[in-house]
């Protein structure tokens, strides 16, 4: 009996033998297999394979990697059966490779074969239906799922069209020979994916009519007609209109044979399935980031601007272009973002490798403008780069970002930019990518230096403004009172933001005459100054006031107090603290503000303002609330962030803080965080607000909060590699503490600056800050502070192989930890002493200290500390020749590293374990440990130049090309022969 061998491409790339799925390997190897399988039976040139897998600009080593993948695939083929009739074969041909497989062994070829047979003349409708039903049954998901790159996207696009074509043909056949109800569900589902493909709509309308559901068929036509008008500015095609008219007349003619999709592909079918990651997670490498926000409901006008953008998109071929959208005079609320997002969503199918989006808050009040470094880090996270593999410094990070975009077609939307310097590091450098930028300024510098196309956005013309009201309120209501509409349009001055708020007010009160709204505008006598000064937005305050005065007194108070918030957005607990109310009550009030269009609710329960609304709230709170009220609210807010940050920091670093906090203000309600995961998530969400708080606290009258918040941020910023931000916040903290004469604050700031300079590999500057902090902690009598500084100095000297100096500071750290009664700190110091003694060759004393450290770590429940101590003990026992004990210690360390998620340390421990197993003549077990380590370093994205990974790639029997090539990063790896003690 023949073995059944199948290669599946119409879904995840899989190899099946007798119904059992065979593991192919990593995504890159699956891409190589797919690149061969699409041309099964025909030779594929090596250069073509490389281009399909790695793109037009393959990295160094791509050819070597291809050969390794080919070798593995050949072995897989050899294992698929004993018979030449059933077994796949991969053979070398001049200049390339040929995959020998029958058409019925590769699902895409079997699909095409079945569809082709169904098209043959002379077949009955029943036979055609059966063939098409079998062909469509071969699809089991997104074709080539999990494979990125331009070639995969293009192939995926072509296959989708073939599938849609086959579904339309099947639907016509099935309706004629069977029950038309059977096709309604599948057609409806597919039309949800491709809402502008007219043949799908026509087939569904025919099936609905045949099933006696003529009214639904007409509704279906109305929906697609509206979609075509909104998305493409076009009417339905001739065939669809004809079907519509025939249904209206009560009869249908026979359909033409298998109509192909007539809507342009770029606007009809997605070229890549959007993978939308959870906001709480980072996309894995290979997933497609789709970050565009929702479009504006009722978008209208801007025909000339949209046409110009289409022209620019068409012209983007060899060079990347930046499209800058700005208002004539920088007017806020003119609709720059609405236009950019509307066009970007229309054009996103032209960018199958993803769309990145960031609001740069270029004109946000209070100094909360996003830095280029923050934006680049956000893009690297979206592109799936592990935090540990992100290099130091903006220039290196921008280089990695551009490397990741190389060879891809991606759209990058940079919204609300302040100036050209803010966006330059964010511009892609590869042909095929496009940056779309909005700003209140005309960014002529980008036009001069980068060849950007400048597109000026003015106010809406009266006809466009009226159309906006029609789309939101309906033609009947707008036509009922043309004089009132004319006055509303005039007094809103063509500002889309003002018109949108008028429309929202009118929609919420359908019984309210538009004349009444026009009268309110006529009576308004205030003016909301534009944030950049002197702009014609005189009616916006009046429009805002309508929504504000419609609020309940309590919600109005909350809206005013939100004008004191640091921005750019806030979570419910912080807003409750600002208002001094319980969280459930704050949630009710926030819902009222959202309904009134005075606040926007973002994902994960965060709330934000438009800049003009923030300015309006700030005006109101200054005018209507006393100095004492404003100060009390700000005090609660700063205390909420400070005390929650210290709780989160304590979960990340279980040590007593050198400077304990005073009690929080009543009503500040710091958040309760259960574990390090919640602490991590809180810091990730609030980091922009906390950095802004450090900057703004002195001006707000809370200078002590500046250095205390900076201190609480230190561990989070350090562990995530935000060393530039660490420098910024502690520089501000140091300046403020010096101005206040606060020695404790200066000590903490010098500690943070020392740590930042240490991480940035500036040892002289780091040492100066550390020594100054040591003196200041001594003057204020803080043993906990001195212990941390000695620990930092010990680690720094150890990294420089200055072991005697490192040992002295480690002993000093231990003494101060004991004076502070910090048992977790004592454990870390003892482990560090043991490690340094091992480096000096005193392994017996090292063993004694590490055993003492382990007892304390177990007593305090410090799993991370226990892992590093077991790692040190494994190293010591290895050098004492006690190999069995060393193996046991390393395995315990590996279990703990796995529990705590310390992947890099786990990989280094596996290398050491493999070395010991090799020493005691257990080569198979050693190779298993090294292979596991290589797998982890691959998942972490370590480059071949990383010391740990380079060490692994030199091991005999490990395949260096068995993994995906990744861009190099600059962060050094831990030496596999030098497990480090627990971090300070």
Which pair of structure tokens corresponds to residue 252? 């249908």
**CATH class of the domain whose range is 303-457:** alpha beta
Given a cut of 50, the residues of the chain with pLDDT beneath it are 1, 257-286, 317-321, 324, 326-330, 365-367, 524-539, 960-984
Phi and psi at residue 875, to the nearest 5° = -60, -45
671 and 647 Cβ atoms separated by less than 8 Å: yes
User: Domain spanning 553-625 has what CATH number?
Assistant: 1.10.10.10
Q: Is the pTM of this model over 0.75?
A: no
Task: Give me the residue spans of the domains in the chain.
Answer: 5-105, 125-268, 303-457, 462-548, 553-625, 862-984
The CATH label, of 1.10.10.10, 3.40.50.300, 3.90.420.10, 2.40.50.100, for the domain at 5-105 is: 1.10.10.10
Element (H, E) at 109: helix 107-119
pLDDT at 282: 37
pLDDT at 366: 46
The CATH label, of 3.40.50.300, 3.30.2320.80, 1.25.40.10, 3.40.630.30, for the domain at 125-268 is: 1.25.40.10
pLDDT at 369: 76
Which pair of structure tokens corresponds to residue 50? 């490389």
Report CA-CA distances (Å) from 159 to 139, 145, 636: 10, 13, 58
pLDDT at 86: 65
325 and 437 Cβ atoms separated by less than 8 Å: yes
pLDDT tens, position by position, 714-734:
988 887 778 888 999 999 999
945 SS3 class: coil
Q: Which fold has domain 862-984?
A: 1.25.40
888 SS3 class: helix
- DSSP of 629-693: HHHHHHHHHHHHHHHHHHHHHHHHS-S--SSPPPPPPTT--PPP--SHHHHHHHHHHHHHHHHHH
353 and 149 Cβ atoms separated by less than 8 Å: yes
User: Greatest CA separation found in the chain?
Assistant: 99
pLDDT tens, position by position, 265-317:
333 333 333 322 333 333 444 467 888 877 766 677 788 888 888 877 776 54
- The angle, 0 to 180 degrees and rounded to 10, between the axes of the packed helices 823-839 and 783-799 is 20
* HSE-CB for 625 with a 13 A CA cutoff: 24
pLDDT at 890: 92
Domains 303-457 and 553-625 share a fold: no
- What does the radius of gyration of the chain's CA atoms come to, in whole angstroms? 33
456 SS3 class: strand
């Amino acid at each position: 009996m023949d073995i059944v061998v199948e290669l599946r491409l119409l879904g995840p790339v899989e190899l099946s033998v007798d119904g059992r799925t065979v593991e192919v390997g990593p995504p890159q190897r699956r891409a190589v297999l797919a690149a061969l399988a699409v041309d099964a039976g025909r030779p594929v040139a090596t250069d073509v394979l490389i281009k399909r897998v790695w793109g037009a600009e393959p990295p160094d080593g791509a050819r070597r990697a291809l050969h390794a993948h080919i070798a593995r695939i050949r072995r897989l083929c050899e294992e698929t059966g004993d018979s030449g009739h059933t077994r796949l074969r991969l053979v070398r041909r001049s200049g390339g490779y040929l995959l020998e497989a029958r058409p019925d062994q590769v699902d895409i070829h079997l699909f095409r074969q079945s569809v082709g047979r169904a098209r043959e003349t002379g077949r009955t409708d029943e036979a055609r239906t059966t063939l098409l039903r079998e062909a469509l049954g071969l699809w089991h998901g997104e074709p080539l799922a999990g494979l990125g790159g331009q070639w995969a996207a293009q192939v995926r696009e072509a296959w989708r069209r073939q599938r849609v074509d086959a579904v339309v043909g099947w639907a016509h056949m099935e309706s004629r020979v069977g029950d038309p109800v059977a096709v309604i569900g599948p057609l409806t589902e597919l039309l949800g994916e491709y809402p502008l493909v007219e043949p799908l709509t026509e087939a569904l309308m025919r099936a609905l009519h045949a099933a006696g559901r003529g009214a639904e068929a007409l509704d279906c036509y109305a929906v697609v007609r509206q979609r075509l008008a909104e998305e493409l500015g076009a009417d339905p095609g001739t065939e669809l209109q004809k079907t519509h008219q025939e249904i209206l007349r009560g009869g249908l003619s026979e359909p033409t044979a298998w109509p192909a999709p007539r809507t342009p592909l770029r606007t009809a079918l997605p070229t890549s399935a959007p993978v939308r990651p959870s906001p709480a997670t980072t996309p894995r490498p290979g997933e497609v980031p789709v970050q565009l926000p929702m479009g504006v409901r009722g978008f209208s006008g801007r025909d000339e601007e949209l046409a110009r953008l289409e022209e620019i998109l068409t012209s983007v071929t060899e060079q990347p272009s930046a499209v800058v959208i700005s208002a004539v005079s920088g007017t806020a609320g003119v609709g720059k973002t609405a236009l950019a997002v509307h066009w970007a969503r229309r054009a996103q199918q032209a960018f199958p490798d993803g769309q990145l989006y960031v609001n740069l808050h270029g004109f946000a009040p209070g100094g909360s403008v996003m830095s280029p470094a923050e934006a680049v880090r956000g893009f690297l996270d979206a592109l799936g780069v592990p935090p540990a593999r992100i290099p130091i410094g903006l220039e290196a990070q921008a280089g990695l970002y551009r490397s990741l975009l190389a060879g891809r077609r991606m759209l990058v939307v940079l919204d609300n930019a302040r100036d050209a310097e803010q966006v330059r590091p964010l511009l892609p450098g590869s042909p095929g990518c496009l940056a779309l930028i909005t700003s209140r300024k005309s960014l002529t510098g980008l036009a001069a230096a980068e060849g950007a196309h400048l597109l000026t956005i003015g106010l809406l013309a009266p006809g466009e403004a009226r159309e906006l009201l029609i789309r939101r309120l309906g033609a009947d209501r707008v036509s009922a009172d043309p004089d009132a509409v004319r006055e509303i349009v005039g007094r809103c001055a063509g500002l889309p933001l003002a018109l949108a708020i008028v429309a929202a007010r009118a929609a919420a009160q359908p019984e309210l005459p538009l004349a009444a709204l026009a009268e309110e505008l006529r009576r308004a006598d205030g003016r909301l100054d534009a944030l950049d000064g002197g702009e014609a937005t005189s009616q916006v305050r009046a429009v805002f006031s309508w929504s504000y005065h419609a609020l309940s007194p309590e919600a109005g108070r909350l809206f005013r107090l939100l004008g004191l918030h640091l921005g750019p957005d806030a979570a419910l607990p912080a807003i409750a603290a600002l208002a001094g109310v319980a969280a459930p009550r704050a949630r009710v009030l926030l819902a009222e503000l959202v309904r009134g269009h005075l606040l926007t609710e973002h994902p994960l329960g965060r709330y934000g303002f438009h800049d003009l609304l923030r300015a309006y709230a700030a005006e109101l709170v200054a005018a209507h609330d006393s100095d004492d009220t404003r100060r009390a609210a700000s005090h609660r807010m700063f205390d909420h962030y400070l005390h929650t940050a210290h709780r989160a920091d304590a979960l990340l670093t279980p040590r007593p803080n050198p400077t304990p906090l005073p009690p929080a203000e009543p009503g500040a309600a710091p958040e309760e965080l259960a574990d390090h995961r919640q602490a991590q998530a809180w810091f990730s969400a609030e980091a922009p607000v906390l950095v802004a708080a450090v900057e703004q606290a002195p001006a707000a009258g809370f200078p002590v909060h500046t250095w205390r918040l900076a201190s609480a941020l230190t561990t989070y910023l350090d562990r995530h590699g935000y060393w530039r931000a660490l420098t910024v916040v502690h520089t501000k903290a140091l300046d403020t503490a010096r101005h206040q004469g606060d020695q404790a604050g200066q000590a903490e700031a010098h500690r943070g600056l020392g740590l930042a300079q240490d991480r940035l590999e500036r040892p002289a500057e780091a040492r100066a800050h550390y020594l100054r902090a040591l003196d200041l902690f001594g003057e204020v009598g803080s043993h906990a502070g001195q212990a941390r500084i000695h620990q930092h100095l010990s680690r720094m000297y150890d990294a420089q192989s200055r072991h005697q100096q490192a040992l002295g500071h480690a002993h000093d750290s231990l003494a101060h930890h004991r004076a502070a009664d910090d048992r977790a700190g004592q454990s870390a110091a003892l482990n560090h002493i043991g490690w340094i003694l091992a480096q000096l060759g005193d392994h017996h004393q090292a063993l004694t200290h590490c055993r003492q450290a382990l007892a304390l770590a177990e007593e305090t429940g410090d799993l991370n500390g226990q892992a590093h101590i077991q790692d040190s003990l494994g190293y010591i026992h290895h050098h004492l020749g006690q190999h069995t004990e060393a193996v046991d210690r390393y395995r315990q360390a590996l279990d703990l590293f796995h529990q705590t998620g310390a992947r890099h340390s786990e990989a280094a421990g596996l290398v050491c374990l493999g070395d010991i197993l090799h020493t005691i003549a257990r080569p198979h077990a050693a190779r298993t440990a090294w292979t596991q380590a290589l797998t982890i370093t691959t998942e972490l994205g370590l480059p071949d130049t990383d010391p740990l990974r380079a060490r692994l790639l030199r091991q005999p029997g490990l395949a260096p090309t068995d993994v995906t090539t990744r861009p190099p990063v600059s962060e050094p790896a831990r030496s596999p022969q030098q497990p480090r003690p627990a971090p300070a």
